Amino acid sequence: MLEKLTKSLVEAPIVKKGDYNYFVHPITDGVPLVEADVLEEVAVAVSQFADLDVDKIVCVEAMGIHLATAISILTDIPFVVVRKRSYGLEGEVAVHQTTGYSEGELYINGIKKGDRVFLVDDVVSTGGTMSAVIQALQRMGTKLVDVMAIIEKGEGKELVEKNTGVKVNTLVRANVVDGKVVIEEITAGKQE
């Protein structure tokens, strides 16, 4: 299961960001090259393991967009992008997010009270973005049916669950160990 994703993760280049070893991967960074077969494998896995009895898929700009697009095409569920700039549309909700490496505003449009939503993002590492978006969706009165990050690294998943009370599902847990990407667990489909 998830052979293409795990193989591409293990082969991902590592770059140093200060003291942090960061793996560069098509699912989380859109570079060096997003292979259609890896994206398809991820979308199929999400459609198999996520609860998609929803009105809308919600993703976060930028790296959630390709994921939501692929899942939307596969399932015929429309999607909404939480954007990094305001459009000033009626009902727009501003969300302040702080991660381990950035801080800023996000903006939610196209979602209303009572909508049943599935939130998908590329990675949960620090948990800052995901926590902020979940809390905003909760304040908006949506029914958050399921939440999934494709890749889990670090302690972000646990922090999101602690901060929001919402379970976060993932497909793979990977981290950099001794200068290499190590797949710690295939988490897809596992229920706690």
Q: Please compute the mean of the pLDDT values over residues 58-71 and round it to a whole number.
A: 96
Class level of CATH domain 3-186: alpha beta
Query: Are residues 131 and 159 in contact, defined by beta-carbon separation less than 8 angstroms?
Result: yes
Report d(CA 146, CA 116) in Å as an integer. Answer: 9
Q: Per residue in 5-30, pLDDT tens?
A: 999 999 999 998 887 788 999 999 99
Q: Per residue in 122-138, pLDDT tens?
A: 999 989 999 999 999 99
Q: Could you tell me the CA-to-CA distances from 82 to 6, 29, 133, 149, 180 in Å, in that order?
A: 27, 17, 8, 15, 32
pLDDT for position 59: 98
Choice between 127 and 188, residue whose per-residue pLDDT is larger: 127
Q: Please calculate the CA angle 163-169-171 and round it to the nearest 5 degrees.
A: 140
Q: Per residue in 87-115, pLDDT tens?
A: 999 999 999 877 666 678 999 999 999 99
DSSP β-bridge partners for residue 14: 23
| Domain spans, the chain | 3-186
Report d(CA 50, CA 118) in Å as an integer. Answer: 8
Q: Which residues, including other chains, have CB under 8 Å from residue 44's CB and lie 6 or more apart?
A: 74
Q: Could you tell me the CA-to-CA distances from 14 to 17, 32, 53, 181 in Å, in that order?
A: 10, 12, 37, 8
Q: What is the pTM of this model?
A: 0.95
Alpha helices in the chain (DSSP H): 3-10, 26-29, 36-49, 65-75, 128-139, 156-164
Query: Are residues 105 and 99 in contact, defined by beta-carbon separation less than 8 angstroms?
Result: no
Tokens 């922090």 sit on residue:
159
